[in-house]
Amino acid sequence: MKRVIAAVAVAALGASALTGTPAEAGPGRQTYTGVIDGAEYKIEMPERWNGTLLLYSHPYYPAGMPDFPPGYGNRMDSEAYFLEQGYALAASDFKGRTGFVMKAAVTDQIGVLDWFERHLGKPRRTVATGSSGGGAISLLLAEKFPGRVDGVLSMCAPADVHGQWNLSLDINFALKTLLAPQADDLELVNAKDPEGSDQRMRELLTEKVESRQGRARIALASAFGNVTGWNSAHDPRPTSVEDQIRALQQIHLGATASVFGAVGQADLAAHAGGNPSHNVGVDYARQLAKSDQLDLVRKAYREAGLDLGKDLARLAKAPRISPDPAARQWMLQYAVPKGSTPSPVVTLHNTVDLAVADHQRWYAGQVRRHGDPAKLRQLYAGRATHCAFTISEEAVALQTLLTRIDTGKWPSTAPARLNANAAAFGDEWNKVYDFATNSDAVRRPAFTQYRPSSLLRPSR
């Protein structure tokens, strides 16, 4: 996740300096930047606008990210492609910019849309889009401002954001309980020293992954979030138990034990007015039984010579973490979409992601309860890691949405058809970024049929 964030940051460094002065649209490529109600924004107009505005919401940025003007895109070269195709791009950097700024993000994005319509003209179509946390923000934008957004392209989104924080808490709770139950310097929420707690968790993961017993317990903790031991968009899925668990350790070092660890929980509590994360009433034995990682856990425990039942009993006896009820309600009000689908929605997700694809099954269930399933199409790319899409896959997903907006009907989303359309873009737009090696490589389009598992701890 950190490398995805860094890639977006590098892309945005090329933005123009802040002007703060509105300007009327003119011929040729134009860049507009400024500040609206304390939030920096950036708008890019192509040489020949096709009438569609892509309103891009950036991902969750942990505290400590370097300052940079806002930019567009899941990849560093996304902006160049979509401008070349005639799309206008707009993005706010959100008040506060880093941390859990989802409430402000929705208001700030509408502020940018207001500015665009006032100074550059009303778009023929406005699409809310974004990756990771920005994909969740895009869903909220359409629901809270149904008359302003014509469609949503939500990419690699932990749609149930509250559920994602609770799943991360489950993993960290199990790691602490099983690997270092007496570690007073490792607090999960309301930490006196959040940075120290995160550092202690990273040290534990680094130490314990070197033994079979430690690896078994890392596998068990990971299973409570349905996290899969595959961390490369370029390499095939590991087959050995050890290699899968070492991949899990790397995922947790980069996300669960850092971005969503004590520092992240402290920031979340600061925005929510209290701690919203909890595991009161959670039966971890039952959660494991529902996990699609159960087989890996059993193999790891057999190799380690450990008693799985005893470790589950230890988890059952461990004191639980309670939420602040008002903070939990704040999360449900400001951070979790209802699935009302006032406009068409396309979701795009990797089959394996640290923000598990299970979120998309949860979102589809919300749409069945509160929205219109005929307005939803869910697409999957058969590869691993967070937001590992080619520009061609993003563009094909966007065209699928635009066809539905324009005609009222969905085009074919058969994987063979989608892959053929994406392959026609050529190698330049068929590159995938890999977390594990910090590298780009040309890869074939990977649209596939997929049915995710159920989200193990949905917020509702």
| pLDDT tens per residue across span 428-437 | 999 998 877 8
Three-state DSSP class for 358?
A: helix
pTM: 0.92
Nearest-angstrom CA–CA distance, 358 and 182: 33
Q: pLDDT value at position 205?
A: 97
Selection from 247, 255, 259 nearest residue 215 by Cα: 247
**Which sequence spans correspond to the domains of the chain?**
2-160+337-448, 162-330
Overall average pLDDT of the 245-269 stretch: 94
Q: Are 116 and 91 a contacting pair, CB within 8 Å? A: no
Q: Angle at Cα 350 formed by Cα 214 and Cα 206, nearest 5°?
A: 20
Q: pLDDT value at position 9?
A: 31
Nearest-angstrom CA–CA distance, 43 and 113: 10
How large a percentage of the chain has pLDDT more than 90? 85
Q: pLDDT value at position 411?
A: 98
Higher pLDDT residue, 25 or 449? 449
Name, in order, each residue with C-beta under 8 angstroms of 399's C-beta and a sequence gap of 6 or more. Answer: 411, 421
CB count within 10 Å of CB 51 equals: 12
What class does CATH assign to 2-160+337-448?
alpha beta
Q: What is the pLDDT of residues 279-292, one digit of tens each?
A: 999 999 999 999 99
Nearest-angstrom CA–CA distance, 57 and 90: 9
Residue 135 one-letter amino acid: G
Overall average pLDDT of the 249-264 stretch: 92
In 209-259, alpha helices (H) = 212-223, 241-251
Selection from 378, 331, 355 nearest residue 131 by Cα: 355
Listed in order, strand segments (DSSP E) in 194-291 are: none
Q: Are 403 and 250 a contacting pair, CB within 8 Å? A: no
Selection from 119, 121, 122 nearest residue 148 by Cα: 122
Nearest-angstrom CA–CA distance, 107 and 57: 12
